[in-house]
């Protein structure tokens, strides 16, 4: 049965841990991801792709810092737009090439996407999301004073700038994304959670320095385009409870009650699986099917044969 699927790619789909961030390495990782997505399209599904951008934005910010005496640095929302552009370019190109190999002629488009957040979101009062490079304490505090940054120590590894991570209110342009997928187009959208913007009293929008959780934005996009399936692709084949312990257990088919029970037990960490499970559960609550699985098993998971499946 043909389904509309929102696929949220994890960061490892673009850059593997400890891998050098060359364009060639990232392009090859994206090509492998596109190979899997093309198989899903061949199986008859409509596809919308979102992706992470954490390492890429971090590198752009580092370029800003290294070159600030020569080229004026750009604000964080612009850096997010830059990363969306070049990751979207890689995905657009490799997806077209992989579809060509399968003799499929679905159009592919990458949309630079803005995500609305609330100006009064509590996250702006307590920024917690580390971004960019590490500094010494003295250097970090000097930069904070010069640039009006908030800086904090990051797990004993050094000091970093921290920014707000507000909740997404809406994905601007999701109506266009829906129309394109209804016409069998493949759309790459809301990369890195989308470029954060706020709506002013006169209805105009303005960029704001923040980082939106990509899985929460992917859920919001899936909700607004009325997707049948919300699929989070990560580096593990299943969600686990008691992870790393002798009684570790892989979750396969999970009811909402069971999923909430594990959340309330604190089974999923806020920095990794927590937001993914939160987004998946919210989607399942609305009657859709949510899947969390590894990239290489995505097509099997869509057929119900792999991954963690959460349904109402």
Would you name the residues annotated as active-site residues?
A: 11-12, 129, 214, 276
Q: Please state, in angstroms and rounded to a whole number, the distance separating the CA atoms of residues 281 and 310.
A: 7
Residue 24 CA to chain centroid, in angstroms? 21
Q: Please state, in angstroms and rounded to a whole number, the distance separating the CA atoms of residues 255 and 270.
A: 21
Angle 19-24-25 (CA atoms, 0-180°, nearest 5)?
A: 25
Query: What's the Rg (C-alpha) of the chain?
Result: 19
3-state SS track over 88-155: HHHHHHHHHHHHHHCCCCCCEEECCCEEEECCCCHHHHCCCEEEEEEECHHHHHHHHHHHCCEEEECC
Take residue 80 and report the two structure tokens written for it: 């997010």
Task: Give the 3-state secondary structure of residue 5.
Answer: strand
Cβ(280)–Cβ(227) under 8 Å? no
Sign of the C-alpha dihedral computed for residues 82, 8, 236 and 154 taken in this order: positive
């Amino acid at each position: 049965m043909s389904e509309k699927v929102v696929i949220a790619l994890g960061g490892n789909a673009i850059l593997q841990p400890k891998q050098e961030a060359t364009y060639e390495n990232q392009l090859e990782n994206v090509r492998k991801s596109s190979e899997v997505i093309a198989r899903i399209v061949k199986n008859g599904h409509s596809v919308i792709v979102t992706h992470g951008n954490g390492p890429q934005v971090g590198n752009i910010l580092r370029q800003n810092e290294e070159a600030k005496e020569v080229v004026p640095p750009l604000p964080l929302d612009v850096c997010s737009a830059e990363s969306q552009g070049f990751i979207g370019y890689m995905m657009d190109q490799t997806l077209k090439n992989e579809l060509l190999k399968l003799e499929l002629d679905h159009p592919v488009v990458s949309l630079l996407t803005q995500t609305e957040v609330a100006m009064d979101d509590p996250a702006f009062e307590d920024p917690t999301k580390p971004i960019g490079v590490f500094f010494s304490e003295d250097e970090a505090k000097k930069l904070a004073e010069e640039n009006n940054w908030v800086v904090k120590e990051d797990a004993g590894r050094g000091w970093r700038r921290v920014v707000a991570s507000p909740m997404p209110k809406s994905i601007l342009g999701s109506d266009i994304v829906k129309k394109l997928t209804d016409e069998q187009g493949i759309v790459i959208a809301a990369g890195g959670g989308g470029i954060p913007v706020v709506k002013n009293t006169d209805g105009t929008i303005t960029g704001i320095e923040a980082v939106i959780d990509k899985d929460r934005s992917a859920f919001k996009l899936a909700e607004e385009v009325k997707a049948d399936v919300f699929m989070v692709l990560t580096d593990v084949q299943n969600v686990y409870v008691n992870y790393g312990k002798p009684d570790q257990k892989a979750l396969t088919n999970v009811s909402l009650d069971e999923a909430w029970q594990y959340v309330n037990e604190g089974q999923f960490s806020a920095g990794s699986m927590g937001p993914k499970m939160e987004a998946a559960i919210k989607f399942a609550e609305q009657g859709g099917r949510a899947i969390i699985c590894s990239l290489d098993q995505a097509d099997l998971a869509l057929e119900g044969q792999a991954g963690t499946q959460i349904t109402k």
